[in-house]
Amino acid sequence: MSASDLYRDLVLEHNRSPRGFGSLPTRTHAAEGDNPLCGDHLRIELAVDAAGRVRDFAFSGQSCAITTATASLLGERVRGLDAAAIAELEARFARLVRGECAADPALDGLNALAELRAYPARRKCALLPWATLAAALRGTPHATTEANA
């Protein structure tokens, strides 16, 4: 299977059946993320334990397949991690989608989104869930990845 086939299949699968879609009955952190120029909007809710590790993750909203798939994959990947580990993964992911590095084992299934290196205008879609997660962890209520927002 080619990298572009893996990307397409993974994005479609996580868009059709996103993991962690919904809300958390008990949350400690939350933030809204939107890219108004393309219409993506999502909310990320977290349950963070006393040690600062993400115990649970949920997201909701209306967004494109790339944003939805990234949020779904992100939720699977960040459980058990603290803010510093998540920031490191976010930096690795940003390098991956910009084409600055090859697949990174630490990113697991998120590596399939490396195909976005060929679509610079769509990178902001994949980065929105990361920015929203970071905002939630900082206690900031809003995030965007659009330069003009």
Predicted confidence (pLDDT) per residue in 84-126, tens digit: 999 999 999 999 999 999 899 999 989 989 999 999 999 999 9
User: Mind listing the domains of the chain with CATH numbers?
Assistant: 3-141 (3.90.1010.10)
Distance CA 12, CA 55 (A): 26
Distance CA 149, CA 142 (A): 11
pTM: 0.94
Strand partners, 32: 43, 142
Distance CA 130, CA 83 (A): 12
Distance CA 88, CA 78 (A): 11
Average pLDDT, the chain: 93
Distance CA 57, CA 70 (A): 13
